[in-house]
Structures are given as C-alpha cells and as structure tokens.
Amino acid sequence: MAVMRVWRGDITRLDVDAIVNAANSSLLGGGGVDGAIHRAAGPELKAECARLGGCPTGEARITKGYRLPARHVIHTVGPVWRGGGRGESALLAACYANALALGRANDLATIAFPAISTGAYGYPPDRAATLAVAVVRAILADDTGWREVIFCCFDEAAKALYENGLAG
Ligand code: AR6
C-alpha cells in the first residue's frame, strides 16, 4: 500500500507527479494555494486552464505543471462551507476521490494534497482533515498504483490535525 505522510510547507515546492490545487469553478486562478500555484507555474498554466471551460464543485481536471517541480496539477473545486447540511462532506470527499481517480488514469504514482476548502471556503479544518485521511486511506486500500500521498499543511495546527488522523 502507498505511504501517506504529512509535510508542512508550500505545496509549490514539492517534486511529485502531481500537486492538487484547491481551485474555484472558473479554474482561472484566485488567492490562497490557487494563487501560489499559478504564480509558481507561470502564465502557461492559466492558458491551459482557460481551455478547460471550468470545473464543477467536487470534480477534478488535470493540466501540466509548467515551471513547477511537479509534473502535473490536478485542479479540484472544494465546497463552500454552509454549516454542514448542504452536502459539503460528500462534495469534499468527491474532491479527494476524483483527484486520485484522475491521477491513476494518468499513471501517476505520487501526489500531494493541500487542505482543500479549509481557507477561503471555510470548511472546519478538523473535520476536513478527518475526512481527507479516511477517504484517501479507503481508496489506497484498493489501489496498488499509488506510491506516495502527501498531505501538505501550511501551518503547524493543520499538520497536527493530519498527524492525529493518520495515527487514528
Ligand atoms: N501551500 C500549501 N497550502 C497552502 C498554500 C501553499 N502555498 N497556501 C495556502 N495554503 P485556500 P479553499 C492552505 O483558501 O478554502 C482561492 O481563491 C491554506 O492555509 O487556498 O479551497 C480559490 O481560487 C488552507 O489550509 O482554498 C478559490 O476561490 C488551504 O491551503 C478559493 O480560494 C486551502 O485554502 C478556494 O478556497
């Protein structure tokens, strides 16, 4: 089974087959991790994204990584948190599942996820970390193609949440 691990830092520095972008449905860039990825990848990334025609919440799309050390970017659109009763958890689970499915369809073996939806979209970070670890763990149990899945955390608090999740 693939290794799951936690790493604290800027996802744009990771040399993996794909980093996942917490995008918005336009796929044309934004703030947070989306802005960091577009800045580091260069304008070619936005040009390729513009040709994709957007992405609904919960789905995923793949592009090249351009100037990033990562070979690809898998863009997914997390749900905006509206209290938890609007299907947010199913949509967030779909982000992880669809990103992993798209990665496997492209023969990728190493991938790094940011904490999707936990910034501007307001999803409670503890619930998001628990869900992310559970969804990824269940998929990896049935999928021998992945070698490494990294949960990239931007701060110590997020890192602690994922470490607890992986230990549990
Ligand atoms: N590397 C890793 N994680 C990061 C980085 C980075 N360079 N920068 C921020 N984070 P957010 P969302 C963490 O807001 O909640 C954008 O404008 C951050 O600390 O980037 O899904 C999009 O265009 C947080 O834990 O994404 C959308 O409009 C996590 O990444 C909207 O924000 C996600 O925070 C998406 O909101």
Q: How far apart are CA 127 and CA 89, in angstroms?
A: 9
Alpha carbon of 154 to ligand 1 centroid (Å)? 9
Q: With a cut of 70, list the residues of the chain below it in pLDDT.
A: none
Under 8 Å CB-to-CB from 162, ≥6 apart: which residues? 6, 129, 132, 133, 151, 153
Which domains are assigned to the chain?
Answer: 3-167 (3.40.220.10)
Q: How confident is the model at residue 15, as a pLDDT?
A: 98
Alpha carbon of 106 to ligand 1 centroid (Å)? 24
Q: Which residues are catalytic?
A: 34
Q: How confident is the model at residue 143, as a pLDDT?
A: 80
Under 8 Å CB-to-CB from 43, ≥6 apart: which residues? none
Alpha carbon of 141 to ligand 1 centroid (Å)? 28
Q: What is the pTM of this model?
A: 0.98
Task: Confirm if 71 and 43 have CB atoms less than 8 A apart.
Answer: no
Q: How confident is the model at residue 2, as a pLDDT?
A: 86
Task: Confirm if 139 and 10 have CB atoms less than 8 A apart.
Answer: no
Q: How confident is the model at residue 16, as a pLDDT?
A: 98
Task: Confirm if 39 and 31 have CB atoms less than 8 A apart.
Answer: no
Q: How confident is the model at residue 122, as a pLDDT?
A: 98
Q: How far apart are CA 136 and CA 124, in angstroms?
A: 18
Q: How confident is the model at residue 79, as a pLDDT?
A: 99
Q: How far apart are CA 166 and CA 15, in angstroms?
A: 22
Q: How confident is the model at residue 144, as a pLDDT?
A: 79
* Ligand 1 atom at minimum distance from 31 CA: 17
Residues with CB under 6 Å of ligand 1 are 10-12, 22-24, 30-34, 36, 78, 114-121, 152, 154, 158
